[in-house]
Chains A and B, each alone.
Chain A
Amino acid sequence: MPQVGDLRAKMSSLLEALNKWLCGPITVMEVCGTHTVSIFRSGIRTMLPKDVRLLSGPGCPVCVTDQAEVDAMVSLAKKPGVVLATYGDMVRVPGSCGSLAEARSCGAEVAVVGSAIQALALAESMQDKEVVFAGIGFETTAPATAVLLREARRKNVKNLSVLSLHKLVPPVLRLLASDPTLVIDGFLLPGHVSTIIGTAPYAFLAEEYGKACAVAGFEPLDIMAGIVEIARQICGGRPAVRCLYGRVVRHEGNVKAQELLGEVFRPASVRWRGIGVVEASGLVLADDYSDFDAYSRFGITLEEVNPPAGCRCGDVLAGRIAPLECPLFGGSCTPQFPVGPCMVSSEGSCSAYYKYSSKGVSPWGA
């Protein structure tokens, strides 16, 4: 751990280098919600030269969960005899007919778990109930769901199923990188997703789309180093995928976790909130595990539903607008009474902006 003085000196060296290497205005998307929050908390936006524009991306698992997926969770929770288990942040996200929290106050059984594996203990302790685990999250949490399924199979647990809503990061980055209406010069890549998948799956961003990329950790120095590296790649005309989080990210990633994902899931085209269907960007259960599939067990299909009137979450997630540009921001949509998921999740862009930028901190770092 660096000392405080050391930290300050390092930060100012990084800023100096950034100012020297920067050759013009650049736009960098921080893909991961934890980066967004850390950038606000550390005041990085206010330190950056005004030519560096930061955009928040689709990296909060709760925010990208489609309205139809929320509706499916709520309708499952309302079924008699069903206990719906999922991670905490999901519970307050409003669906077309209310949130899981509201369903719970009307008698639906909703269990909050901190780890996928807890759903197994739940199923074992409630033999007369059907426990459905709604698996949310990217490559980081999907391996935990895979372990849950493998263990349920081994223990021959029959009253457990999984509603897989897991999503994959590289396919949505391809969509954003290839969209000519979006101006993104570089990506600050998510640290923990990269722990699992390694750095190779991002190579196309630099090779095919010429985007500068850095995998970064979550400390302020890590993030600033990532931005400096991206600026240098852009201005040097040498886009690449550079890993600055060698503490926990290996180039090949976590191979054991990858194997598990391959055993339990297969990729499928799924809908992202406000972004639409993205090819091969979701994980559904592999045929070998189809007996645990909540979609078939409960006859669930996901139909397209309209987002709440006025909500611009999709445009926020794609970096088309900043949260402050949504007409509902801070008015009818606040963390206390959220309209869209970006305002619910602690990692959501709108809630981060609400929390930090209302205090006079410009979201564009000016």
Chain B
Amino acid sequence: MAVPHKVVEIMDENRALVSTGGVELEVRTDLIEGLQVGDVVLVHAGFVIEKYNQDEGEELESLWEEVMQFASGR
């Protein structure tokens, strides 16, 4: 469901080949701009709906920091 897929080939303007766990899959890329080979993407019902960011996102990071601070400061 939320498994990241890696772009292995840009087939044309609206299609790409992605792979996850060794399985390749043709997906539509209409909803995303400037996709490149190597990008890690989220696929939903045959469409790429977003590219993954490298980091977790600031807000989760800051929650983690607080949780860890609390856990180590006991």
Which A residues lie at the B interface, using CB under 8 A? 13-14, 16-17, 20, 34, 87, 114-118, 137, 140-141, 143-144, 147, 191-192, 195-196, 217-219, 225, 228-229, 242-250, 254, 256-257, 260
With a cutoff of 8 Å between Cβ atoms, the chain A residues found around residue B66 in the complex are: 17
In angstroms, Cα B28 to Cα A140, docked, is: 14
B37 within 8 A of A: no
The contact sample of 12 A-B pairs, CB cut-off 8 A, is: A17-B70, A34-B2, A115-B28, A115-B45, A137-B45, A141-B44, A217-B2, A228-B63, A245-B60, A247-B57, A254-B50, A257-B49
B45 touches A229 (CB 8 A): no
Other CB < 8 Å A-B pairs besides A34-B1, A144-B31, 14 of them?
A: A14-B67, A117-B28, A117-B46, A118-B46, A140-B49, A191-B2, A192-B44, A195-B42, A225-B67, A243-B57, A243-B59, A246-B59, A254-B32, A256-B33
Q: How far is the CA of A147 from the CA of B71 in the complex (A)?
A: 48
CA distance A338 to B66 in the complex (A): 45
Chain A residues with CB under 8 Å of B60's CB are: 225, 243-246
CA distance A192 to B59 in the complex (A): 17
User: Do A246 and B45 have beta carbons less than 8 Å apart?
Assistant: no
Question: How would you classify the secondary structure of chain B's contact residues: helix, strand, loop or mixed?
Answer: mixed
Please state if B49 and A245 are interface contacts (CB–CB under 8 Å): no
Q: Inside 8 A of B2's CB, which chain A residues have their CB?
A: 34, 191-192, 217-219
Complex: A257 Cα to B2 Cα, angstroms: 18
Alpha-carbon gap, A291 to B47, bound state (A): 25
Give bound CA distance, A260 to B42, whole Å: 18
Are A246's CB and B55's CB within 8 A?
yes
In the assembled complex, the Cα of A137 lies from the Cα of B45 at a distance in Å of 10
- The reply to whether the CB of B12 lies closer than 8 angstroms to some CB of chain A is no
What's the least CB distance linking A115 to chain B, in Å?
2
Q: How far is the CB of A265 from chain B (nearest CB, A)?
A: 15
Tell me the bound Cα distance from A254 to B55 in angstroms: 18
Taking a contact as CB atoms under 8 Å apart, the answer to whether B31 and A256 are in contact is yes
CB contact under 8 A between A140 and B44, given known A192-B49, A218-B1, A247-B53: yes
Q: How far is the CB of A45 from chain B (nearest CB, A)?
A: 19
Contact B31 A143 (CB under 8 A): yes
Cα distance A195–B49 in the bound complex, in angstroms: 7
